[in-house]
């Protein structure tokens, strides 16, 4: 479908899942820190113009499938996070989107010496 855009965040972590609510309104949902973290990455995917982003934790299980974009400070997460993108580009304007987004509210973490 032309013009269809999406953002997908891939992360590994513990979650709680199940039906939450009452008989009048029952929803199946997932909650927990890993869900919140993935939501932050999903927001970043849209801001960077990328279709698929992964956390460093997820990407280490898929060697060669992702390219590092850098380390980002995510809202509500105290430690900078390594964020990677799928090697399949979702849009031709990815490089410009990354540069533009880094200059706005998201902050790229300073390089760490090893």
Question: In the prediction, which pLDDT does 92 show?
Answer: 44
CA distances from 68 to 17, 25, 84 (A): 30, 42, 4
pLDDT 10s digits, 67-81: 999 999 888 888 889
Question: In the prediction, which pLDDT does 15 show?
Answer: 94
Instruction: State CA 30 to chain mean position distance.
Output: 17
114 Cβ contact partners less than 8 Å away, ≥ 6 residues apart: none
The CATH number given to whatever domain includes residue 39 is 3.30.70.1230
Q: Containing domain of residue 91, as a range?
A: 8-108
Instruction: Provide the 3-class DSSP secondary structure of residue 97.
Output: helix
Instruction: Report helix angle 33-48 to 94-102, nearest 10.
Output: 110
The model's pTM is: 0.69
* Overall domain count for the chain: 1
Question: In the prediction, which pLDDT does 82 show?
Answer: 92
Any domain includes 57: yes
Any domain includes 104: yes
Any domain includes 17: yes
Instruction: Provide the 3-class DSSP secondary structure of residue 104.
Output: coil
Any domain includes 88: yes
Any domain includes 3: no
Question: How does DSSP assign 28-88, residue by residue?
Answer: EEEESHHHHHHHHHHHHHHHHT-SEEEEHHHHTTSTTSEEEEEEEEPTT-SS-EEEEEESS
Question: Which residues of the chain have a pLDDT value below 50?
Answer: 90-97, 99-106, 108, 110-114
Question: In the prediction, which pLDDT does 88 show?
Answer: 67
């Amino acid at each position: 479908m032309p013009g269809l855009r999406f953002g997908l965040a891939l992360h590994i972590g513990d979650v709680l899942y199940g039906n939450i609510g009452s008989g009048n309104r029952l929803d199946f949902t997932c909650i927990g820190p890993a869900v919140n973290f993935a939501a932050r990455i999903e927001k970043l995917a849209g801001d960077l113009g990328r279709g698929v982003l992964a956390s460093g934790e997820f990407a280490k299980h898929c060697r060669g499938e992702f390219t590092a974009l850098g380390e980002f400070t995510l809202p509500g997460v105290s430690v900078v996070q390594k964020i990677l993108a799928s090697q399949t580009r979702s849009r031709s304007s990815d490089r410009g989107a990354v540069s533009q987004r880094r200059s706005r509210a998201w902050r790229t973490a300073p390089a760490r010496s090893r």
